[in-house]
Structure 1
Amino acid sequence: MKRLAVYCGANSGADPLFADTAEQLGAEMAKRDIGLVYGGGKLGLMGIIADSVLAGNGEVHGVIPEALVDLEVAHQGLTELHIVTSMHERKAKMTDLCDGFIAMPGGIGTLDELFEAWSWNALGYHAKPFLLLNTGGFWDSMISFVDHVVANGFISEARREQMLVATQIGDAIEQLAHAANGAKQGMTW
């Protein structure tokens, strides 16, 4: 894997573990020479992971809508900052730039990005894996809800199995690398 898109909050969240994990994930990505693709912001978990990858001499590609640049939330110290016109263009560009996706704790934007990556995968627009980094059990309730949706016949078991979950950073990266490698070899993802 050359690059991972990381979806995460523009806030740091209530639990300091979220910020610590963002910093650790960034450091591990830089150590493994995996570039970061993210929303281009300087605030919250977004800024923390970008700064961490940069501190490890890693590559960081931010993708931000023009309207947010104007609000002065864009991170100006990145390897490359892509300025786009819309949120839709942002998500498409992030998908083009990455080999897989990690969802860390975040809000409505993180959920939107995660579910769009999953639905685009389901529709065959890409074959890139995605994973919930379940820091401090943040995603437990959503995992239970997705299982409820499966039990009610709206998501297949095979589609559910695509939603990878890890609590440890090393395991998360390994699961994504394994799934991405499988997709490159023609396995259904």
Structure 2
Amino acid sequence: MKKNICVFCGASYGNNPQYQFYAEQLGEQIAKQGRTLVYGGGNKGLMGTIANAVLANGGEVIGVIPERLVKAETAHHGITSLEIVADMHIRKARMAELADAFIAMPGGTGTLEEVFEIWTGAQIGYHEKPVALYNAFDFWAPMQVFLKHAVTEGFIRESFYNTLIVSDDPTTLLQQIDNYIPKDLDRWIKK
């Protein structure tokens, strides 16, 4: 079982209340399965929603937040552990260090940047951890179309595209993460 699940998500709620419902469902499953949430440390938006759902179901939550965002994102001081770091680069590195797997929920540019950086790291061989999109309310469907377009145009190998886990069901998503077997990740290793 992948114990520490890093979730990238928005510090806002989005325009559809379904996003909160999906965040609560994922948080509940993380806690009930005895896993730990690793996330960006905020208490607003979907970040706060998933953290609170994990806590409400008896789970542990580790937040990592840069000093600059402590006030802007209103750091969640009620979680199991809150690490305040110097900047975004250290935040992402620390979250990656703590995580056994990564899930991107709906979010904005920060979420996009985080998930693509971590997925690229897998492609280049920096790690062999699963990367997933939680397709809450079909949020990631347009991105999937774009990524398939990039495959067709020869910018992403289909075998690498297929390493990306996508599901709108939290139980299925976590099971697929546990079943993940690293493959197609040795392209950049010199022999």
What interval of TM-score do these two structures reach, taking the shorter chain for normalisation? Answer: over 0.9
Q: How big is each residue's C-alpha offset from its partner over 1:12-60, in whole Å with a ceiling of 9 and x where there is no partner? A: 1111110001111111110000100000000000000001101111110
Structure 1 match to 2:14:
13
Quote how far apart the aligned CAs of 1:118 are. Answer: 0.5
Structure 1 match to 2:189:
none
Within the alignment, does 1:157 sit opposite 2:151 as a pair?
A: no
AA partner of residue 147 (structure 1): K
Between the aligned residues of both structures, percent identity stands at 48
CA RMSD of aligned residues (A): 1.1
Q: How big is each residue's C-alpha offset from its partner over 1:38-93, in whole Å with a ceiling of 9 and x where there is no partner? A: 00000000000001101111110001001111436100011111111111111111
AA partner of residue 33 (structure 1): G
Within the alignment, does 1:105 sit opposite 2:106 as a pair?
A: yes
AA partner of residue 116 (structure 1): E
Where structure 2 has 5 or more consecutive residues not aligned to the other structure, the ranges are: 186-191
Structure 2 match to 1:93:
94
Aligned residues of 2:12 and 2:46 also touching (Cα < 8 A): yes
TM-score (ref. length: structure 1): 0.94
* SS of corresponding position for 2:84: strand
AA partner of residue 156 (structure 1): R
Structure 2 match to 1:60:
61
Structure 2 match to 1:37:
38
Q: How big is each residue's C-alpha offset from its partner over 1:135-164, in whole Å with a ceiling of 9 and x where there is no partner? A: 111111100000000101011011100111
Structure 2 match to 1:81:
82
Aligned residues, how many?
184
Structure 1 match to 2:3:
2
* SS of corresponding position for 2:64: strand
* SS of corresponding position for 2:7: strand
AA partner of residue 78 (structure 1): I
Structure 2 match to 1:135:
136
Query: Residues of 2 paired with 1:139 and 1:64: CA distance?
Result: 25
Structure 1 residues 141, 71: closer, same or farther in 2, change over 3 A?
Answer: closer
TM-score (ref. length: structure 2): 0.93
Query: Residues of 2 paired with 1:23 and 1:168: CA distance?
Result: 12
Where structure 1 has 5 or more consecutive residues not aligned to the other structure, the ranges are: none
